[in-house]
A and B are shown apart, each in its own frame.
Chain A
Amino acid sequence: MVYEQGEEVLPGAVHGHRLSTVVPSSVTGEVDYPLSDADLAFKLHYLRGVYYYPPGDVTRGITTKVIKDPMFPWLDDYFPVAGRVRRDAADVAAGEGGHPPRPYIKCNDCGVRIVEAKCDRDMAEWLRDEAPGRLSQLCYDKVLGPELFFSPLLYVQITNFKCGGLALGFSWAHLIGDVASAATCFNKWAQILSGKKPEPTVLTPENMPGHSPAGATAPRSVKQVGPIEDHWIVPAGRDMACYSFHVTEPTLKKLQQQAAVATGTFELVAALMWQTVAKIRGGVETVTVVKNDAAARSGRALANEMKVGYVEASGSSPAKADVAELAALLAKGVVDETAAVAAFPGDVLVYGGAHLTLVDMEQVDVYGLEIKGQRPVHVEYGMDGVGEEGAVLVQPDADGRGRTVTAVLPRDEIGSLRAALQDA
Chain B
Amino acid sequence: MSSPPPPLGNNGLLKNVHRFVAAVAVPLAAAALAAAARLLPQEATSGWLRDARPVHLFLAVFLPAAAATVYLLLRPRAVYLVDYACFRTAPNCRVPFSTFLEHAKQVPALNERSIRFMTKLLERSGLGEETCLPPAHHYIPTYKYCTLDAARGEVDLVVFGALDDLFAKTGLSPSAIDILVVNCSLFCPTPSFVDMIINRYKLRSDVRSVHLAGMGCSAGIVSVGLARSLLQVAPENSHALVVSTETITPNYYVGSERAMLLPNCLFRIGGAAALLSNSPSKARFRLKHVVRTLTGAQDSAYACVFQEEDDVGNVGINLSKDLMTIAGNALKANITAIGPLVLPASEQLMFAAAFIARKVLGGGRFRPYIPDFRTAFEHFCIHAGGRAVIDELQRSLGLSDEQVEASRMALHRFGNTSSSSLWYELAYIEAKGRMRRGDRVWMIGFGSGFKCNSAAWECIQPAANAEGPWATCIHRYPVDIPDVLKH
Q: Report A's interface with B, CB cutoff 8 A.
A: 18-23, 25-27, 30, 68-69, 72-73, 84, 108-111, 147, 150
Contact = CB atoms under 8 A, between A and B. Distances in A.
A73 B140 CA distance: 22
Interface residues of B, number: 20
Contacts of B130: 26-27
Contact of A108 (B95, B103, B138, B487): B487
Interface string B90-102: 0110111111001
B92 A20 contact: no
Contacts of A108: 96-98, 487
22 contacts: A18-B139, A18-B145, A19-B140, A20-B138, A21-B99, A21-B138, A22-B92, A23-B94, A23-B95, A23-B99, A27-B128, A27-B129, A27-B130, A30-B486, A69-B92, A72-B94, A108-B97, A109-B129, A110-B99, A110-B102, A111-B96, A147-B105
A26 B132 CA distance: 12
Nearest to A116: B139
A26 B90 CA distance: 11
B303 to A, nearest CB: 37
Contacts of B97: 108
Interface in B98-151: 98-99, 102-103, 105, 128-130, 138-140, 145
B96 A110 contact: yes
A82 to B, nearest CB: 9
Contacts of B487: 108
Nearest to B138: A20
Contact of A23 (B96, B105, B128): B96
A22 B92 CA distance: 8
B140 A72 contact: no
Given A27-B129, A108-B96, A20 B139 contact: yes
Contacts of A30: 486
A402 B259 CA distance: 63
A21 B129 contact: no
B38 to A, nearest CB: 83
Interface of B: 91-92, 94-99, 102-103, 105, 128-130, 138-140, 145, 486-487
A69 B135 CA distance: 12
Contacts of A109: 96, 98-99, 129
A110 B98 contact: yes
B139 A19 contact: yes
B91 A72 contact: yes
B99 A20 contact: no
Given A111-B99, A150-B105, A72 B138 contact: no
A243 B330 CA distance: 70
A18 B91 CA distance: 21
Contacts of B105: 147, 150
Nearest to A106: B98
A253 B264 CA distance: 64
B48 to A, nearest CB: 81
A358 B376 CA distance: 79
A185 B103 CA distance: 25
A241 B25 CA distance: 100
A109 B99 CA distance: 7
A72 B130 CA distance: 13
A22 B129 CA distance: 14
Given A21-B102, A108-B98, A108-B487, 5 more contacts: A18-B139, A20-B140, A109-B96, A110-B99, A111-B99
Contact of A68 (B92, B95, B98): B92
A111 B138 CA distance: 11
Contacts of B102: 21, 110, 150
Contact of A72 (B92, B99, B129): B92
B103 A21 contact: yes
Contacts of B486: 30
Nearest to B472: A26
Contacts of B96: 23, 27, 108-111
A27 B98 CA distance: 12
A109 B128 CA distance: 13
A368 B282 CA distance: 55
A26 B92 contact: no
Contact of B92 (A18, A25, A84): A25
Contacts of A23: 94-96, 99
B98 A84 contact: yes
Contacts of B128: 27
Contacts of A69: 92
A30 B486 CA distance: 8
A26 B91 contact: yes
A69 B103 CA distance: 20
A25 B94 contact: yes
Contacts of A110: 96, 98-99, 102
B485 to A, nearest CB: 10
A79 to B, nearest CB: 11
Please indicate which of the listed interface residues A19, A23, A72 has the most CB atoms of chain B within 10 Å of its own CB: A23
A304 B320 CA distance: 54
Contacts of A111: 96, 99
A150 B106 CA distance: 10
* For the complex of A and B, 10 pairs with smallest distance between CB atoms: A25-B91, A110-B98, A109-B96, A108-B98, A19-B140, A20-B139, A20-B138, A27-B129, A72-B91, A150-B102
